[in-house]
Structure 1
Amino acid sequence: MNAVTSDALPLHSEHDVVAVGCGPFNLGLAALASSVEGLDLVVLESRPELRWHPGLMFDEALLQLSFLADLVTLVDPTHPLSFLAYLREMDRLYPFYIRERFHPTRREYEDYLRWAASKLPSVRFSHQVEAIDWDAERQRFTVKVLRGDGRRLSMTARDVVIGIGTEPSVPGALSALPSDKLIHTGHYLHRQPDVDAARHVTVVGSGQSGAEVALHLLQRNLAGGAAMSWLTRTVSFAPLDYTKLTLEMTTPAYVRYFHALPQSTKDRLVAEQWRHYKGVSSETLEQIHDLLYRRELERGLADVELRSGVAVEHASVNGSGDVVLRCRHLDTKETFEHTTSLVVAATGYKQRSPGFLRPMDGLLRWDAQGRYQVRLDYSVELAPEVRGRIFVTHADLHSHGVAAPDLGVSAYRNATILNAVAGREVFTLPRRTAFSRFGLPEATARPRPHPPEPRRVDLPVVPDDVAPPRATRVSEAS
């Protein structure tokens, strides 16, 4: 996939920027950086190739974003690595135009990402970052890398960008289940033999990924397949809020407003705005309802059960080899048992813990909950003796709001990072991005006192009921 072969790369190299992880966010960083003259940026990815949510790559799944939310267009519409340039090179520009559905399929979007990666020699697969440290004498970061052929490389960089994405999260209530009885939605399509063998499959949790698995199980049920249940603790199988003015919360204007708020207010807002990233697309809900209605005309099908407002509190395996879930009905507070053959956990994702940053213990600044302290330009707070900067992508939900996992803000964030790295405006950022005006009118706004510096704490596990960034306005998985 790369234009540069492993044998051609030196065992020691110096760069302006080293980016860790190659999902859509850091790939977009490499794409924009390719047009910045004189900037030496490399992206290192431990996997041998780019794969994007392969465990949920249903053939019919659509990206719930316009093609404009590609790697570059919302900052540089004329960039040669835009989605339209991809369509032109694939000779699909007119078919895409005639199709009149400007939301690409998820499979097509992955193909676009792989196409862009193939044109960027700065992207290097099978390069696992083992350690990053600050060299005070040289005033540069040192990056230790294990290459796929077993050779170890040493790199230095002025600045570092971390975009390692998230990983599946399983709540404590389900964690005791053996692996053959539990599947996370992120691995669903890889575990089809287990699904085929189960006589009853239960999806726990909602969100877009849970809904897509429920839809797939319903389709199988209509064809004579297994019984299925769908349990969620939310009060309803709620749709994503895609109303236009609500979507303005994914604009840079709202990001700037949100970043200036006290952290306690930010945390409250992220929790309150759950329908922006934990709901289900209306189209998927309509498809599910259509299948449920079609079942009314059939006879002899295995049972189907949907229950909202239900929390799973414990899971075990009985003597017959079935899974027994102890559940609580949240409205009545009553408990009941639910028996099934296999559980699919639609329980979200948590931030990956960057073990390669351990050499910098004491140099990174964390907030009271063990999260990065992220500045408006996406750099994190470091000890004053560190002159270089570490930037983060997709680790800023708590600091920049619900736009953080949204592909539509990716190009803006990457352009902001590259402007900071270059020390000048190499990309003109949009000034007017929302009709809504957030915060106080200028005449009444008062400066906010600077909060005390939080103490360093250990990185926490994300709470069990925190879902992944909304799966339809799809987040990076690196």
Structure 2
Amino acid sequence: MTTVPYDVIAIGCGPFNLGLAALADSLDDVNLAVLDSRPEFTWHRGLMFDDAMLQVSFLADLVSLVEPAHPLSFLSYLRDNDRLYQFYVREKFHPTRREYEAYLRWCATQLDSLHFGHHVADVVWDGEFFVLSVERGDRVVSLKARHLVLGVGTEPAVPAALAGLPPERFLHSADYLFRREDLLRAGRVTVVGSGQSGAECALDLLRANAAGGPAVSWLTRTQSFAPLDYSKLVLEMTTPSYVDYFHALEEPARDRLVKEQWRHYKGISSDTLEEIHDVLYQRDLNASPMASVDLQCAVAVEAAVARADGIELTLRHTDSGRTFEHLCDAVVAATGYSNRPLPFLKSVDPLVRRDAAGRWVINRDHSVGVSDDALGGRLFVANADLHSHGVAAPDLGIGAIRNATILNAVAGREIFRLPKSTAFTSFSLPR
């Protein structure tokens, strides 16, 4: 790496900052580096089921929705791996999650701007640049950048009621495949949570149950095992047109909409729900004795205690308000993710403006609002703006547009042409 100041340093290398590097790779006048503490690029390895499908189309790759002819598009990956015709004959718009990760890794090998094994320990603003203290093995180096992009991603979120359970009997769904054999040896396994991750873990356990595996309970706080709302006009809420509308709303309206629209990004694939029902139906036809299966909606975990004979969960039935006990040997928490803490920004954080709920104020171009122009450079976020940009924020389909918006803002000109209209629906009041 060079000691010359960079135009942009992106911290964290998930799909969004990887896409930023891909788009910036074609630019001669934007000097960018991406730093990640991990030794190599990986993506959701603990949930990489063989048959798990991406929930968006292959066009939601790193670049296509901005630059369809880009050499790092998904179609370019297929051509480079001599699989383009096979994909064409397959006639499925959604690649498997495993293939999408292979595509991401293929992109990563072609980008010299990525630097793994680089842990950002501290960031300060010196009046002209962001100065980063970066740990590389046993060395600490200093790097400078005019602008930063934060893409450190999320980490598993565990509810307080489950936080004290012993690790040998408890795991988050993010680690499911790493601990799968332990779960199959348990007598009774309970999955808590009903998003896509919870459904995939439950499906795998139900298949194992039908083959003589453990008893399975699948619990959710919601009123049903609800499908992802993937209808065409609803999908327009993941377009830049809707992001424009959403960002212009007042904060209370945005907060209300995020709560109401949870099925747009937290629901379960209809295909996965169909597979689960098929497994349950075939299981019902089997005359051989099998361990029990229990699916329960509208129950919330109030407490969890480790006992000698297993884990005792105290559950509250939300419709009746009554509580009851549930005993199992292992718990899988499919309870989502939360933004990672940013301890390296402790000196910059006081300069950031916050909304009424204490969250960072995020501008439409994904830059962070700061007090009185306290920073000469800009701080951008990737997928930390659900509260300001709506349900599109975590969607892979918005990644290329967000990255093009950031690079245009950094350059001060329209390097990448952004679409002017992306939805048939009119979201705002008529003029």
TM-score range, shorter chain: over 0.9
Q: 1:205 aligns with which of 193, 196, 202?
A: 193
- For residues 139-218 of structure 1, the aligned pairs below 5 Å read 139-147=128-136, 149-218=137-206
Structure with more of its chain in helix, by fraction: 2
Q: 1:350 aligns with which of 308, 324, 338?
A: 338
CA-to-aligned-CA distance 1:379-437 (integer Å, 9 cap, x gap) = 00113231110000000000000000000010000000000000000000011100000
Q: Does 1:129 pair with 2:102?
A: no
Q: Does 1:282 pair with 2:273?
A: no
**Corresponding residue SS for 1:402:** helix
CA distance in 1, matches of 2:230, 2:418: 24
CA-to-aligned-CA distance 1:84-135 (integer Å, 9 cap, x gap) = 0000000000011011112111010001001101100001111111111101
Q: CA deviation at 1:370?
A: 2.6
**Corresponding residue SS for 1:218:** helix
- Structure 2 letter corresponding to 1:56: L
CA distance in 2, matches of 1:123, 1:372: 27
- Structure 2 letter corresponding to 1:21: G
- Structure 1 letter corresponding to 2:172: H
CA-to-aligned-CA distance 1:53-107 (integer Å, 9 cap, x gap) = 0110001101021110000000000101000000000000001101111211101
Aligned residue number for residue 229 of structure 1: 217
CA distance in 2, matches of 1:357, 1:103: 38
Query: What is the total number of aligned residue pairs between the two structures?
Result: 429
Aligned residue number for residue 100 of structure 2: 109
Q: Does 1:88 pair with 2:76?
A: no
Q: CA deviation at 1:193?
A: 3.3
CA contact (8 A) 1:313 1:325 kept: yes
Aligned residue number for residue 408 of structure 1: 397
Aligned residue number for residue 410 of structure 2: 421
Q: CA deviation at 1:319?
A: 3.2
Aligned residue number for residue 476 of structure 1: none
CA distance in 2, matches of 1:164, 1:348: 16
Aligned CA distance change for structure 1 residues 361 and 240 (closer, same or farther; 3 Å): closer
CA distance in 1, matches of 2:163, 2:352: 31
Q: CA deviation at 1:439?
A: 1.2
Q: CA deviation at 1:368?
A: 2.6
CA-to-aligned-CA distance 1:160-216 (integer Å, 9 cap, x gap) = 000011000000111121111111000111112321221000001110000000000
Q: CA deviation at 1:362?
A: 1.9
Q: 1:60 aligns with which of 31, 48, 51?
A: 51
Q: Which range is displaced more, 192-201 or 328-337?
A: 192-201
CA distance in 2, matches of 1:190, 1:319: 25
CA contact (8 A) 1:227 1:302 kept: yes
Q: TM-score, normalised by structure 2?
A: 0.98
- Structure 2 letter corresponding to 1:114: R
**Corresponding residue SS for 1:306:** strand
- Structure 1 letter corresponding to 2:102: D
CA distance in 2, matches of 1:224, 1:251: 45
CA distance in 2, matches of 1:439, 1:237: 32
CA-to-aligned-CA distance 1:340-380 (integer Å, 9 cap, x gap) = 00000011110111111012142122223232110000000
Aligned residue number for residue 330 of structure 1: 318
CA distance in 2, matches of 1:353, 1:373: 16
CA distance in 1, matches of 2:57, 2:45: 21
CA contact (8 A) 2:184 2:208 kept: no
Structure 2 residue ranges without an equivalent (≥5): none
CA contact (8 A) 2:124 2:132 kept: yes
- Structure 2 letter corresponding to 1:419: N
- Structure 2 letter corresponding to 1:72: V
- Structure 1 letter corresponding to 2:278: D
**Corresponding residue SS for 1:362:** helix
Q: CA deviation at 1:440?
A: 0.8
Aligned residue number for residue 379 of structure 2: 390
Q: 2:327 aligns with which of 318, 339, 362?
A: 339
**Corresponding residue SS for 2:161:** coil
**Corresponding residue SS for 1:408:** helix
CA distance in 1, matches of 2:349, 2:278: 54
CA distance in 2, matches of 1:156, 1:382: 20
**Corresponding residue SS for 2:111:** coil
CA distance in 1, matches of 2:244, 2:285: 53
- Structure 2 letter corresponding to 1:356: F
- Structure 1 letter corresponding to 2:307: N
CA distance in 1, matches of 2:374, 2:313: 52
Q: Does 1:304 pair with 2:293?
A: yes
Aligned residue number for residue 294 of structure 1: 282
CA contact (8 A) 2:123 2:348 kept: yes
Q: Does 1:266 pair with 2:257?
A: no
CA contact (8 A) 2:218 2:295 kept: yes
CA-to-aligned-CA distance 1:269-308 (integer Å, 9 cap, x gap) = 0000011111100000000000000011212011000000
Q: Does 1:319 pair with 2:308?
A: yes
**Corresponding residue SS for 1:401:** helix
- For residues 17-36 of structure 1, the aligned pairs below 5 Å read 17-36=8-27
Aligned residue number for residue 369 of structure 1: 357
CA-to-aligned-CA distance 1:234-286 (integer Å, 9 cap, x gap) = 00001000010001000000000000111111111000001111110000000
CA-to-aligned-CA distance 1:426-470 (integer Å, 9 cap, x gap) = 00001110000011112xxxxxxxxxxxxxxxxxxxxxxxxxxxx
Q: CA deviation at 1:318?
A: 2.0
Aligned residue number for residue 453 of structure 1: none
Aligned residue number for residue 460 of structure 1: none
- For residues 42-57 of structure 1, the aligned pairs below 5 Å read 42-57=33-48
- Structure 1 letter corresponding to 2:326: H
CA contact (8 A) 1:13 1:154 kept: no
- Structure 1 letter corresponding to 2:210: L
Q: Does 1:437 pair with 2:423?
A: no
